[in-house]
Amino acid sequence: MRAKVLSAELGVATLRDLLYTFPNKYIDRSTIHRIADLQENMPLVQLKGQIINIDKVTTGPHKRIKAFFTDGTGVVELVWFRSLKFVEKTLRLRVDYIALGKPTLFGGRFSMAHPELEEAKNAAQEMHPMQPQYHVTESMRRSGFSSRLMSNLVSSAFSAIGSEIDETLPASIIAEHRLQNINAALRTMHYPTSSASLAEAVRRHKFEELFYLQLGILRYANHRKRDTQGYPFTIVGKMFHRFYEERLPFELTGAQKRVIKEIRSDMRHGKQMNRLLQGDVGSGKTMVALMCCLIAIDNGFQACLMAPTEILAEQHLQTLKQQLGDLPVNVQLLTGNVKGKARDEVLGGIADGRVNILVGTHALIEPTVHFLNLGLAIIDEQHRFGVKQRAKLWQKNVRPPHVLVMTATPIPRTLAMTVYGDLDVSVIDELPPGRKPIQTIHYQAQDTPRMLQGIGHELSQGRQAYIVFPLIEESEKSDMQNLENGYEYFKNCFPQYAVAKVHGKMKPSDKEAAMREFSSGRAQILVSTTVIEVGVNVPNASIMVIQDADRFGLAQLHQLRGRVGRGADQSYCILATHHQLNENTARRMEIMTETTDGFLIAEEDMKLRGPGDIEGTQQSGIPFQLHVANILHDVVLMSEARKAAEKLLEIDGELKLPQHAVCEQQLAIIKRTTSNFSEIS
């Protein structure tokens, strides 16, 4: 019964699992606090005393049990809202208890919600300064589990297993990286004797986790390279050369040339390309994409370009068409908006090969889309396109097409190493010539006159301005109202100029019309939501105001800001906020005004956003869940683990040497216990 609960709640099925169920914190149980000394903002504290009165409300919406607990220096209220039956059974008056919990001040008195309560006579022997605390879920509690019971189970697991647990890392790795052996590391996690040795044990476990993560990814990539035949693109032909000579509107930057060469030589030899192209906003990735598509066409293949949003897909379509001009290349669009007859027409053209380049959204990888001969798939601006999604693309032809993933918001190195750990990387580290870094200014409510003056100045020079308003679903109504008010406001402030307005709720045709007003220069001001976030390209726009900038993430601000600064003149981005900012937000504004370096911003962004968002990212791309290591904070260890994995595979790519047998075993265990990983292997 308890075993069932353990396995359902914590996934603990074996003795080994139990040993790997680490405490989620360690508390100093050598100290007992006096109620009279309690203060606000204290962490977990221990009190010793008795319950003098119990107050129960066992039905209705305000169900709870309150126990008044005293140690003679004061009274705290212990409160339970859940598992009341169980709590009720265990509470006894006039018995010495140790209560462990976080005190909060409520109505002039301290209370503790769901404290851990133990009879003092049982607790007496464990007044340890680093007492392990195990995570216990609510339904575990209902089945009688407590941190202490977990601790007992762990200790019997240690006795049952005996003194020696087989080492899970190769000896060479342990020696080289000066890691604790597995026995010491496991014991220390449960019974730390000092914070220094605990830190070493944690390092060992983190390293191991990251090492096998990287070893899995790298071996997968190696096998794929060995086993997967790609289509050899042997020639650079007519279309590429005609484009280069007749249509190319500017000299390519050195970085663009180098990257095209890298991609070209990758696609030439009959291996399948899987490459990541990193380049900051405005570095000219679209041109690289187009020229790679032309190589595919020259070799008798189709190409597709996938964007994350419909607007961006539409924009790409226009850009490509405009750049190709009268060259005989058939470019078509496929998004959710393409319906009925038009859709059938496009699908037909893809199937019989009339369409050379297909631009679209995720709709492109739907099973209903059949290419005659897809040779190259490019994914733009999408950093959540993990191994799994890429694998889908491979089904699109007899041999998998070459895959190029382009990312504008650079992602932190650690994340890149895992989400894209199996890809080769090309970097555009140079912006087209003549660009001046965008100057970013943070204005608060009282700076409005200066802001208007700034906009007025740019407009009077013949330039254009973006005014961006946040729009999120949860507050859609009031956000729309803000946008409408803003539109009226700026029309009033600048009566001599034309103001256009665009947001995601407009009909596509109206949206397009408004966008065109602005891109053609007929409107000088564009009031919009973040629909302009990616791709939109109006080089004459020199100033962007981002309203309520505090409501945007850093990566998003960086993307938005990338819409200006596309011409040769100085451009400006104004971050406007209207409320008192908390520390985190103030810091975000500061980062934006200090740097235009996308990599730096990406790392700061991940740091500030915290674990919630990161989990989402993990699920999307990382082949298995990390338990001890943290993908953001363990940057150094991740690099170390990756290098170790690379080195090991260089020596023994198939893990055939006896001293590496343990690696094969461990990878197999991880593979068995994680569904995602099996999908890629």
Candidates 120-128, 283-291, 331-339, 456-464; binding stretch for ligand ADP (CB under 6 A): 283-291
Candidates 9-17, 203-211, 252-260, 605-613; binding stretch for ligand ADP (CB under 6 A): 252-260
Among 49, 192, 282, 412, binds ligand ADP (CB under 6 A): 282
The phi and psi torsions of 207 (rounded to 5 degrees) equal -60, -45
- The minimum distance between CB 428 and ligand ADP, in angstroms, equals 7
Question: Of the candidates 676, 648, 641, which has an alpha carbon nearest to the alpha carbon of residue 662?
Answer: 648
Calculate the alpha carbon distances from 666 to 93, 214, 235, 397 in Å. 52, 13, 44, 34
Candidates 173-181, 282-290, 359-367, 604-612; binding stretch for ligand ADP (CB under 6 A): 282-290
Q: Which residue is nearest to ligand ADP (CB)?
A: 284
**Interface pattern 365-384 for ligand ADP (x via CB under 6 A):** --------------------
Candidates 19-27, 184-192, 275-283, 608-616; binding stretch for ligand ADP (CB under 6 A): 275-283
C-beta neighbour count of 89 within 10 angstroms: 8
Which helix H or strand E contains 334, and what residues bound it?
strand 331-334
C-beta neighbour count of 575 within 10 angstroms: 24
C-beta neighbour count of 498 within 10 angstroms: 14
Place of tokens 């968002």: 613
Q: Is 470 in the site for ligand ADP (CB under 6 A)?
A: no
Q: Is 250 in the site for ligand ADP (CB under 6 A)?
A: yes
Which helix H or strand E contains 421, and what residues bound it?
none
Q: Is 409 in the site for ligand ADP (CB under 6 A)?
A: no
Q: Is 566 in the site for ligand ADP (CB under 6 A)?
A: yes
Please answer whether residues 366 and 395 qualify as being in contact, where contact means their C-beta atoms are separated by less than 8 angstroms: no
Q: Which residues sit opposite 275 in a β-bridge? A: 404, 424
Candidates 96-104, 187-195, 248-256, 630-638; binding stretch for ligand ADP (CB under 6 A): 248-256
The helix-helix angle for 635-651 and 195-227 (nearest 10°) equals 50
Please answer whether residues 648 and 660 qualify as being in contact, where contact means their C-beta atoms are separated by less than 8 angstroms: yes
Token pair recorded at residue 247: 């249509």
SS3 446: helix
C-beta neighbour count of 241 within 10 angstroms: 12
Question: Of the candidates 423, 181, 157, which has an alpha carbon nearest to the alpha carbon of residue 278?
Answer: 423
- The minimum distance between CB 245 and ligand ADP, in angstroms, equals 16
Candidates 276-284, 363-371, 581-589, 621-629; binding stretch for ligand ADP (CB under 6 A): 276-284
Please answer whether residues 166 and 665 qualify as being in contact, where contact means their C-beta atoms are separated by less than 8 angstroms: no
SS3 534: coil
Q: Is 285 in the site for ligand ADP (CB under 6 A)?
A: yes
Instruction: Tell me the number of residues near ligand ADP by CB under 6 A.
Output: 17
- The minimum distance between CB 295 and ligand ADP, in angstroms, equals 17
Among 432, 456, 504, 521, binds ligand ADP (CB under 6 A): 432
Pick between residue 572 and residue 624 the one whose CB is nearest to ligand ADP: 572
- The minimum distance between CB 223 and ligand ADP, in angstroms, equals 32
Q: Is 244 in the site for ligand ADP (CB under 6 A)?
A: no
- Window 524-563: residues binding ligand ADP (CB under 6 A): 537, 539
Q: Is 287 in the site for ligand ADP (CB under 6 A)?
A: yes
Contact residues: ligand ADP, CB under 6 A: 250, 252-253, 256, 279, 281-287, 408, 432, 537, 539, 566
